[in-house]
Amino acid sequence: MSHPLSRRNFLVAALAVPVAATATAAPALAVDEHDQFTAASTKYGVPSSVLAAVSYGQTRWEDHEGRPSTSLGYGPMHLIDGAAAQRHRDAAAGKDAGQVIDTLGEAAKLTGLSTKTLRTDTAANIMGAAAVLAAAQRRLGYAVGAHTDPATWYAAVATTSGFTSAESQRSFADDVVSDLRAGVSRTASGVQLQLKATKVGSVTAQRAVLTKRADIAAKQRKPAPYPIDAPKNLTVDWVPAPYQQTGPDPGDYGNHDLANRPKSPTLNTIVIHDMECTYTEALTLVQEATYLAWNYSIRSSDGLIAQHLEAADIGWHAGNWYINTHALGVEHEGYAVAGPTWYTEVMYRKSARLVSYLAKEYKIPLDRAHIIGHDQVPATSTAGIPSMHWDPGPFWDWEHYFELLGAPLHKGTRIKKKLAVGDVVRILPGFDGNEQIVTGCDSNKPPLCVVDGPQPATNFVTLHVQPDEGAPLVQDIGLHPDGSPSGTGPSDVGARAAAGEDYVVASVYGDWTAIWYLGQKAWFHNPVKSPTARLVKNAITATATADTQVYGCAYPEPSAYSNPADVQANAPFTYVWGAGQQYVVGDADVPTDYYKAKTYDISTPDDHIDIIGTMKYYLVYFGHRVMYVKAADVQLS
């Protein structure tokens, strides 16, 4: 009999020890020894360690309550509803749509179970995947058996992964083998799940077959006019964004600007977006001269990447010209409201490989002040705050993403049982089991909605005006100019401190901690036995000696402009940084400049120039979004 679905993680529900038995720390739970994996292993002759490693690589052992991923994969094994996915892809791409591998349909034929059962029952889902793997193993001419060498399953793992390209299949199988050899573990809802290191033989011969296919496919791709800016182990297509004149006026052009980055302007930020549409639709949009451009797009189903711009040029993606001039934009197929679907593990992994490469290439710090969500980008003026975007949203797993980047967010922190005023804390609530309330729908047409109430996995803590769950949420006067409290809608970031963001402790009361946030004390639940924030060992903070203003840009002082007509107004927000309040400095070396690009022709005199000032700013974690403060207005400590 299968275990019921968990709101959090299927293995947590199935394996968690009873409360009465937790007086002492429980050992890590061996995932591959769980009865759902061993039963499937025994019936279909697939090593349980292989099943567990495949599940980890596809979903990190989560069932997502039977909800599909963006690529319509279900359950802990990510069985893909190929029939539905094919219809969806055909509708979006017409006759150019690629083929989808129907692992869900094949599992139904092999097991006799209904597709509904395979989608929603975790034990059935694992059985279905085992049946598909065993069938592939036999077709490939290899022996099946619960105790066979995992190395002999390399090709079967690759071809049943749901990915269509040889490169993606090889990459996934490589990851599975790597996870088997090294062992993997994770903690979900306080329970540690583990797959111990497993002996795996040589996969060289089977890998060579996929490598040959990948090389043939690579030669068939249309060559890029510029070197692809990505690590060599990633397949990246060149899908150029057009730089075209769209009207008679020199300023009529699209859909990006030419520049000479990272020399001018400098690069210091990578903005993480989601598409709010399909990958195919996003690629259509980025190729429209009258639309806008970003640097990379990443597909949900297999992590395929498309590059649209050289890093030298400026995409119009963040809604803030100053940020755009210093940032690369990476779009991910998916939706910020994760009620219907969720971000796939393969997309997280491919994105992290790309972003870690870009960060190293352009010397961009791997922290939450420089690898930011679109929801952290400030507006350029108070009037623009309500219309700023909020993707990738509350359901993007920042903590996992930074682990994949090789820069875990807990690094440089420690647990401190008794926090004190003036301590710096990093918000680290975990993702699975971090239940926060998100309600309502987004602005898509038709709208995407969440089931109202606590969500089982979120990336933030909720901020209140008092240390009480029943107290109103803190105000965000930029988002709610009428002074009303923040809300719990998907787009309302006003009372959310997100994972990886740093703040200064303003007060402590029992299991509650207050931080300085948007000019006020904001309280969040931070229990001593299960803290949602950790002490940051080394941090730079800034204190205001008088009421101080904050900004959305770090533009130069008027005297820096040779042409008075070029002066950019840098109006302060309505937020007030009160005297004595402290905020964490995310960057004390912010470029003060304005990149002027008003005409299509890059050779136009006095255009496509970086105007540099002497006014000094700091980048600070002021609210959910990062903002800028003039250095002269605060004191560093």
Query: Does residue 475 fall inside a structural domain?
Result: yes
Q: For residues 184 and 177, what is the distance between their CA atoms, to the nearest angstrom?
A: 11
Range 63-75 average pLDDT: 90
Helix (H, G, I), strand (E, B) or coil at 388: coil
Same domain as 431, residue 334: yes
Q: For residues 494 and 491, what is the distance between their CA atoms, to the nearest angstrom?
A: 9
Count of H-run helices and E-run strands, the chain: 14, 34
- CA 125, chain centre distance (Å): 26
pLDDT higher than threshold 70 for residue 14: no
Number of domains in the chain: 2
**Host H or E run for residue 172:** helix 166-182
> What pLDDT is recorded for position 10?
54
Q: How far is CA 54 from CA 43, 50, 74, 365, 487, in A?
A: 17, 6, 14, 32, 39
Query: Does residue 314 fall inside a structural domain?
Result: yes
Render pLDDT for 535-584 as a digit per residue (tens, 0 to 9): 999 999 999 999 999 999 999 999 999 999 999 999 999 999 999 999 99
> What pLDDT is recorded for position 1?
26
Confidence label for 231 from pLDDT (cuts 50, 70 and 90): very high
**Host H or E run for residue 595:** strand 593-596
> What pLDDT is recorded for position 3?
30
Same domain as 621, residue 497: yes
**Host H or E run for residue 371:** strand 371-373
Same domain as 302, residue 335: yes
Contact 57, 175 (CB under 8 A): yes
Phi (first) and psi of residue 29, to 5 degrees:
-90, 125
Range 299-309 average pLDDT: 95
Please name the amino acid found at residue 56.
Y
Phi (first) and psi of residue 33, to 5 degrees:
-95, 0
> What pLDDT is recorded for position 4?
29
Q: For residues 282 and 279, what is the distance between their CA atoms, to the nearest angstrom?
A: 5
Query: Does residue 558 fall inside a structural domain?
Result: yes
Same domain as 270, residue 210: no
pTM beyond 0.85, yes or no: yes
Same domain as 244, residue 180: no
The stretches of 362-419 forming alpha helices (DSSP H) are 398-404
> What pLDDT is recorded for position 96?
46
Query: Does residue 2 fall inside a structural domain?
Result: no
Query: Does residue 224 fall inside a structural domain?
Result: no
Query: Does residue 151 fall inside a structural domain?
Result: yes
């749901």: which residue's tokens?
162
Please name the amino acid found at residue 153.
W
**Host H or E run for residue 181:** helix 166-182
Range 447-464 average pLDDT: 92
- Other beta carbons less than 10 A from residue 360's beta carbon: 12
Q: What is the CA radius of gyration of the chain?
A: 25
Q: Which two tokens stand for residue 139?
A: 């077709």
Contact 111, 131 (CB under 8 A): yes
User: What residues contact 487, with CB distance under 8 A and at least 6 apart?
Assistant: 473, 494
> What pLDDT is recorded for position 635?
98
Same domain as 623, residue 505: yes
Please name the amino acid found at residue 372.
I
pLDDT higher than threshold 90 for residue 218: no
Range 354-378 average pLDDT: 98
Please name the amino acid found at residue 568.
Q
Mean pLDDT taken over the chain: 92
> What pLDDT is recorded for position 339?
62
Tell me the residue range of the domain where 277 lies: 236-636
Adjacent-strand bridge partners of 73 = 80
Range 308-324 average pLDDT: 98
Largest Cα–Cα distance of the chain, in whole Å? 78
> What pLDDT is recorded for position 538?
92
Same domain as 296, residue 248: yes
> Which CATH number goes with the domain that contains 116?
1.10.530
Same domain as 180, residue 277: no
Q: For residues 517 and 18, what is the distance between their CA atoms, to the nearest angstrom?
A: 39
Query: Does residue 229 fall inside a structural domain?
Result: no
> What pLDDT is recorded for position 92?
59
């036999």: which residue's tokens?
138
174 vs 11, higher pLDDT: 174
Burial 138-154 (b: 16+ CB within 10 A, else e): eebebebebebbbbbbb
DSSP assignment of 300-343: TTT--EEE-S-TTSEES-SS-HHHHHHEEEEEESS-SS-SS---
Please name the amino acid found at residue 170.
R
User: What residues contact 230, with CB distance under 8 A and at least 6 apart?
Assistant: 236, 305, 307, 354, 357
Q: For residues 105 and 72, what is the distance between their CA atoms, to the nearest angstrom?
A: 12
Confidence label for 98 from pLDDT (cuts 50, 70 and 90): low
pLDDT higher than threshold 70 for residue 275: yes
Range 334-343 average pLDDT: 83
Same domain as 414, residue 323: yes
- CA 146, chain centre distance (Å): 36
Same domain as 242, residue 125: no
Same domain as 246, residue 213: no
Contact 506, 598 (CB under 8 A): no
> What pLDDT is recorded for position 24?
43
Adjacent-strand bridge partners of 186 = 193
Render pLDDT for 462-509 as a digit per residue (tens, 0 to 9): 999 999 999 999 999 999 999 999 999 999 999 999 999 999 999 999
What's the burial of 451, exposed, middle or buried (CB within 10 Å: 0-12/13-18/19+)?
exposed
Same domain as 290, residue 171: no
> What pLDDT is recorded for position 11?
56
Query: Where do the DSSP E strands lie in 336-381?
Result: 371-373
> Which CATH number goes with the domain that contains 281?
3.40.80.10
Q: For residues 347 and 334, what is the distance between their CA atoms, to the nearest angstrom?
A: 10
Query: Does residue 610 fall inside a structural domain?
Result: yes
- Other beta carbons less than 10 A from residue 453's beta carbon: 10
Contact 494, 486 (CB under 8 A): yes
Render pLDDT for 599-618 as a digit per residue (tens, 0 to 9): 999 999 999 999 999 999 99
> What pLDDT is recorded for position 226?
81
Q: For residues 122 and 12, what is the distance between their CA atoms, to the nearest angstrom?
A: 12
